[in-house]
Structure 1
Amino acid sequence: MEELRKAIISVARKVRAHRSLYEKNEEAVKQHLIGEIFQALGWDWNNPEEVRPEERTEDGRADYALILDGNVFAYVEAKNLGVNILKNDKPLRQLGRYCFNSGVRYGILTNGAVWIALKAFEEGSRLSDRILLITNIEEESLNKLVLKLSLLSKSRIWDIERLTSLLKALELSFAGLRKEGYSEEMLIEYLTSKGGTNLVPVEDLTGTEAPKAAYVYDNGWKLLPLPERSIKGVLLAVLLYMEKNSHGPQKEEIRKAYEHIRAMTISPRTALEILKKLEEEERLRISVEL
């Protein structure tokens, strides 16, 4: 996922810096944007056993064919960034014809920024009903982009229908519960909390506990490795987390604080007071598993 994350950031940066080029030059979109994303998705972009450019079909040439087990699994159609593939359905219909007349089940349409995945045929359905996935590198959050685009990866595209169905069900359920008055934070915590564990907020600790693990809330509860099973160990773990997410002088200050506390003997109550102060000043949420 990290390679895909880096590729998305890189492509977004290129689009911002060279928009006029990509709005006119489809070849630049293919080479600079689309190829980088597919490489990060695990496709060997220069291997004809996985990716074939200019694949002939009965209705014309598809820009690329993605190959799995020796067969064409999906066609990819590329447009320049000046083509609004969300409003202009001609490119999507063209892609659908390529797929349908060749017996290829899936198609991917992209202008480098917007990505659309299509199921080419299904009896009794309209084109819009067969769209599996839409994502936009210029508008959606990075985490959302990584998750959605990962469904086009070589390792996951086999299950794209099942996975997109699960994702849509999650989005609908989440939106429904939000309308019922449940907060986004509560729902995320519900989905990401560890079943069967006894997580206790730092504010509810007394200092006499022997924690099994420490957690910090960062778009979900993240496990922090404990240097030792004690309140001091929790404090050290939190300082390491803060250091990892800091830069420059602040990073150095946190490292010095970590080394100082690690070398000294402090009571559990003192360590607990420092943790509570960090929560307040750094707006952290810290819990431990007992």
Structure 2
Amino acid sequence: MEGLRKAASRVKLKIKSHRGLYVKNEEAVKQHLIGEIFQALGWDWNNPEEVRPEERTEDGRADYALILDGEVFAYVEAKNLGVNVLKRDEPLRQLARYCFNSGVRYGVLTNGAVWIAVKAFEEGSRLRDRVLFTADLENEPLEKAVLKLSLLSKDRIRDLERLASLLRALELSFSGLRREGYPGEALVEYLLSGESPGAVPLTELTGKERPRAAYVHDNGWKLLPLPERSLRGVLLAVLLYIEKTSQGYEREEVRKAYEHLLRVPVSQETALEVLRRIEEEKGLRISVDL
């Protein structure tokens, strides 16, 4: 996901810096914007076994065909940035015709900034009703757009429809609960609560336990992988977490502490004492699953 986020950030910067080029030049949109996103999504953009440009259909040529298991899984239709793909119906209808006449179930329409994924056909439904998601890199939070775009990754696109439905249900539930007066922070905390029901806080440990898992509460519970089943392993995992979330001098000091701990034996009791000190000093909550 981090690679996709960085690619989306670069695409946003390109659009901001060279909007005039992308408004007039569809080929620049394809090469500079669309290609970068799909490569970050795990597609080998220059491999005809995965991506085929100018794919012929009965109604014309689709800009790209995404290939899975030797078959076309989805068509991608590109427009220049001057085309408002959200308001104009014809580009989406054109894409749907390509898909329908070729028996291809899914299509992606994009001008580089706005991305629309659509289910091409379903009896008794209108085209706009079959839109699976719309991601707008310029006009919605980047993390939200990136999460939706991730459904087009090579690893996830087979489950595109199911995942899009789950994401939509999450959005509707979240919005509904907000309207009922629940604060957003409380709902996010609820969703992020990943602590095991059997997890035990540090205050209840004696120093003789052999933990199976560790959790740290920092804007929600997070599961930490253990390098070994011991309180020393918990301490190592917590130090790694703190290093990743720290900067500058503090990060360097935590790294030194981690590397020192790797070289020396540490008793269970000492590891527990250090963990409790970290809880107090860092304002974290640490629990273990036994």
What TM-score does the superposition give when structure 1 sets the normalisation length? 0.80
Whether the 8 Å CA contact 2:22–2:28 is kept in 1: the answer is yes
Match of 1:276 among 259, 277, 280: 280
Structure 2 equivalent of residue 208 of structure 1: 206
- What is the DSSP-based 3-state SS (H/G/I as helix, E as strand, rest coil) of the residue aligned with 2:167? helix
Consecutive unaligned residues of structure 1, counting only runs of 5 or more, are none
What TM-score does the superposition give when structure 2 sets the normalisation length? 0.80
Alignment partners' CA distance in 1, 2:258 and 2:158: 47
Structure 1 equivalent of residue 230 of structure 2: 229
Structure 2 equivalent of residue 152 of structure 1: 152
Whether the 8 Å CA contact 2:21–2:28 is kept in 1: the answer is yes
Q: Name the CA shift for 1:247/1:31 in 2 (closer, same or farther; >3 Å).
A: same
Once the two structures are TM-superposed, the CA of residue 132 in structure 1 deviates from its matched residue by 0.9
Q: Name the CA shift for 1:194/1:253 in 2 (closer, same or farther; >3 Å).
A: closer
Whether the 8 Å CA contact 1:235–1:275 is kept in 2: the answer is no
Alignment partners' CA distance in 1, 2:95 and 2:20: 25
Q: How does 1:1-290 map to 2 (within 5 A)?
A: 1-194=1-194, 196-200=196-200, 205=203, 208=206, 210=209, 212=211, 213-218=213-218, 220-224=220-224, 225=226, 229-230=230-231, 234=234, 237-256=237-256, 268=272, 271-279=275-283, 284-290=284-290
Whether the 8 Å CA contact 1:178–1:184 is kept in 2: the answer is yes
Alignment partners' CA distance in 2, 1:159 and 1:43: 16
Letter in 1 for 2:174: F
Once the two structures are TM-superposed, the CA of residue 131 in structure 1 deviates from its matched residue by 0.5
Q: Percent identity of the aligned residues?
A: 69
Alignment partners' CA distance in 2, 1:267 and 1:6: 37
- What is the DSSP-based 3-state SS (H/G/I as helix, E as strand, rest coil) of the residue aligned with 2:73? strand
- What is the DSSP-based 3-state SS (H/G/I as helix, E as strand, rest coil) of the residue aligned with 1:151? helix
Once the two structures are TM-superposed, the CA of residue 234 in structure 1 deviates from its matched residue by 4.9
Letter in 1 for 2:106: Y
Q: Name the CA shift for 1:167/1:199 in 2 (closer, same or farther; >3 Å).
A: same
Alignment partners' CA distance in 2, 1:226 and 1:180: 43
Letter in 1 for 2:280: K
- What is the DSSP-based 3-state SS (H/G/I as helix, E as strand, rest coil) of the residue aligned with 1:44? coil
Alignment partners' CA distance in 2, 1:145 and 1:197: 33
Alignment partners' CA distance in 1, 2:109 and 2:82: 14
Alignment partners' CA distance in 1, 2:274 and 2:55: 68
RMSD, aligned CA: 3.2
Whether the 8 Å CA contact 1:96–1:107 is kept in 2: the answer is yes
Alignment partners' CA distance in 2, 1:25 and 1:245: 41
Whether the 8 Å CA contact 1:211–1:288 is kept in 2: the answer is no
Q: Name the CA shift for 1:261/1:272 in 2 (closer, same or farther; >3 Å).
A: farther
Letter in 2 for 1:80: N
Q: Name the CA shift for 1:99/1:234 in 2 (closer, same or farther; >3 Å).
A: closer
Alignment partners' CA distance in 2, 1:276 and 1:226: 23
